[in-house]
Amino acid sequence: MDKVREPARKLAGLVPYDPKYLPARAMMSANENPKDVDEDLRRQVESAVRRVPLNRYPDPLANELRDLIACANGLDREQVLVGNGGDELLFNTALAWGGPGRTFLNLPPTFSVYEANARLTNTDVLNIPRLREQDFAIDEAAVLDAVSGPDSQVDFTIIATPNNPTGLRARTEFLGELLASTDALVVADEAYFEFSRQTMRPYLDANKNLVILRTFSKAFSLAGVRVGYILGHPDVIRQYMKVRQPYSVDAVSQAIGRVIFQNRAAFEPGIEAIIEERERILKELSAMPGVHPYPSDANWVLFEVPEAEQVWQRLFDAGVLVRDFSTAAGLEGTLRVSVGTKEQDDLFLDELKKARGIS
Ligand SMILES: *Cc1c(COP(=O)(O)O)cnc(C)c1O
């Protein structure tokens, strides 16, 4: 046949996710840790990988890794689920809590994967935009209003804290209030909590409707391996188990994840350095005429700059890849730079000054 039937109707208007990842001297576009796993840890990773039976299916639930994560968070195994990156668990959230006739509350601009997953699962999306004039703070009153009351349609929400790509974390007290005013599932996406040093973990015991999502991809230098996890009530975790792909987390990733998690303290100095560099970048950007950085609790800085698209190109031509949000809804005129090594940050700042005609 020289033709094929139309795919599912929900695919109309969807575009495949494109991280716009181009090779560059300074990769500062994907919020990764600029430092790869060091030599010593890498040797431990290699010997762990060497012991993995490749002919056998992995433990579907990654129980050994689950136990390590549970123990570190003062929880039981039943309160933890490991996924193929946080992204798989975000998709599973839409599979388990979304669907036709169900509603997802989204707070754009935010991680675009949330809304894409809602569309893929035919979930209705209720958008409550963040307040750009207040550094993209959540419209707290509007959110509380939308979820409370007996006729609220909201079945689940996902709140990135800190919010990617804008930068600020949500107020803990607000999230607490939200959890208390609705039985909708509230996923606190803490992909960057190692940089904000804030977690909703203390709220877990009293709130069955709270799920905390985390990843090994950012602070722990493991974006290439695909390991993330959620913390939640055992009944909620069981619902997630119904929709997940049985062998989504392969045995090699499980083995690497265990080594990295057991050695997570080794990443602390690097995290500290990233936080210091973030503050330096913020300060330098604030001093550049015409450039407006937004405050950040994470490992990147979003900033407004005149002619952002041309500036992106100038930076790229000079070997610096940042993320272009200049034409994204609600983010017009902005670029996002992920904090790099000191050398990369210097290169970025120098090239931005040149692009702005500052010397
Ligand atoms: C990076 C990121 C994740 C998870 O990424 P994975 O690599 O799939 O673990 C989740 N949420 C946000 C907001 C992110 O930026």
Compute, in angstroms, the gap from residue 215 CA to the centroid of ligand 1.
6
Nearest atom in ligand 1 to the alpha carbon of residue 30 is 1
pLDDT value for 257:
98
Q: What is the CA(86)–ligand 1 centre distance, in A?
A: 5
User: For position 14, what pLDDT does the model report?
Assistant: 85
Contact indicator for 163, 175 with CB cutoff of 8 Å: no
Kindly compute the dihedral angle of the four CA atoms of residues 261, 193, 27, 43, in this order, to the nearest 10 degrees: -10
Q: Is 187 in the pocket of ligand 1 (CB under 6 A)?
A: no
* Number of other residues whose CB lies within 10 A of the CB of residue 185: 22
Helix (H, G, I), strand (E, B) or coil at 15: coil
What's the pLDDT at 101? 97
State residue 114's pLDDT score.
Answer: 98
Return the sign of the alpha-carbon dihedral for residues 151, 157, 161, 166.
negative
The pLDDT score that the predictor gives to residue 10 is 87
The finding on whether 338 has its CB within 6 A of some atom of ligand 1 is no
Report yes or no: 353 and 284 within 8 Å, Cβ to Cβ: no
Q: Which atom of ligand 1 is nearest to the CA of 223?
A: 7
Residue 328: pLDDT band (50, 70, 90) is very high
Contact 119, 151 (CB under 8 A): no
Residue of the CA atom closest to atom 15 of ligand 1 = 164
Q: Which atom of ligand 1 is nearest to the CA of 228?
A: 9
pLDDT for 281: 98
Is residue 211 a contact partner of residue 218, using CB atoms and an 8 Å limit? no
Could you tell me if 65 and 230 are in contact, meaning their C-beta atoms sit under 8 angstroms apart?
A: no
Q: Give the predicted TM-score (pTM) of the model.
A: 0.97
As given in the structure block, the two tokens for residue 316 are 């790229």
Residue nearest to ligand 1 atom 2, measured at CA: 191
Structure tokens at 170: 């949500």
Does residue 228's CB lie within 6 angstroms of at least one atom of ligand 1?
yes
Does the CB atom of residue 155 touch ligand 1 within 6 A?
Answer: no
pLDDT at 227 over 80: yes
**Residue pLDDT, tens place only, 256-306:** 999 999 999 999 999 999 999 999 999 999 999 999 999 999 999 999 999
Residue 359 has pLDDT above 80, yes or no: no
Position 173, amino acid: E
Strand pairing partners for 27? 321
**From the CB of 83, is ligand 1 less than 6 Å away?**
no
CB of 32 within 6 A of ligand 1: the answer is: no
Structure confidence at residue 145 (pLDDT)? 96
Report the C-alpha dihedral over residues 309, 314, 318, 319, rounded to 10 degrees.
10
For the stretch 128-163, pLDDT in tens is 999 999 999 999 999 999 998 788 999 999 999 999
Q: How far is the CA of 92 from the centre of ligand 1 (A)?
A: 14
Binding site membership of 230 for ligand 1 (Cβ less than 6 Å): no
172 Cα to the center of ligand 1, angstroms: 20
Position 186 confidence tier, pLDDT thresholds 50, 70, 90: very high
pLDDT for 20 equals: 81
pLDDT at position 33:
97
| Alpha-carbon dihedral angle through residues 9, 96, 199, 231, given to the nearest 10 degrees | -140
The ligand 1 atom nearest the CA atom of 217? 7
Largest CA distance in the chain: 62
pLDDT confidence of residue 13? 83
Return mean pLDDT, the chain: 97
Residue 98: band (very low, low, confident or very high) from pLDDT cuts 50, 70, 90: very high
Q: Express as a percent the part of the chain with pLDDT over 70.
A: 100
User: Cα–Cα distance between 214 and 85 in angstroms, integer?
Assistant: 9
Q: Is any ligand 1 atom within 6 A of the Cβ of residue 215?
A: yes
Q: Does residue 86 have its Cβ closer than 6 Å to ligand 1?
A: yes
pLDDT level of residue 15 (50, 70, 90 thresholds): confident
When pLDDT is averaged across residues 163-185 and rounded to a whole number, the result is 98
Residue 1: is it exposed, middle or buried by C-beta count within 10 angstroms (0-12/13-18/19+)? Answer: exposed
Q: How far is the CA of 188 from the centre of ligand 1 (A)?
A: 12
Of 117, 189, 213, 215, the one to substitute when testing ligand 1's pocket (max ligand atoms within 8 A of C-beta) is: 215
- Take atom 14 of ligand 1 and give the residue whose Cα is closest: 191
Residue 335 is predicted with a pLDDT of 98
